[in-house]
Amino acid sequence: QKEVEQNSGPLSVPEGAIASLNCTYSDRGSQSFFWYRQYSGKSPELIMFIYSNGDKEDGRFTAQLNKASQYVSLLIRDSQPSDSATYLCAVKGTLTFGKGTMLLVSP
């Protein structure tokens, strides 16, 4: 069974801090990974995807991928209260989502 694991949280950080969200996956053949943000009662919206080992930056967001360790993470710099949401990690090939990590950013 292909699995994607995330800590359900909540992860609480103060405004302006760096939030670090982690995800591990079981299928060693997985190629690309997506991070989605889902506000309560809303649909998932894409933040970014990554398919190469290393870091990929987009504004305040940085995705990190380590295929050898089967680990992907999302860093959010200068966290804002509006970042408070559930963050879903997904493996594109198998269309498998993690259960999500709830992030709470306090003013």
Strands 101-106 and 11-14: parallel
Please provide the size of the chain in residues.
107
Query: Helix, strand, or coil here: 89?
Result: strand
Q: How far is the CB of 9 from another protein (least distance, A)?
A: 11
Residues that bind another protein (CB under 8 A): 31-32, 34, 38, 42-46, 49, 51, 86, 88, 92-93, 95-97, 99-100
Q: How far is the CB of 16 from another protein (least distance, A)?
A: 27
- By beta-carbon proximity to another protein, the closer residue of 17 and 96 is 96
**Among candidates 21, 27, 20, which has minimal Cα distance to 4?**
27
Q: How far is the CB of 78 from another protein (least distance, A)?
A: 25
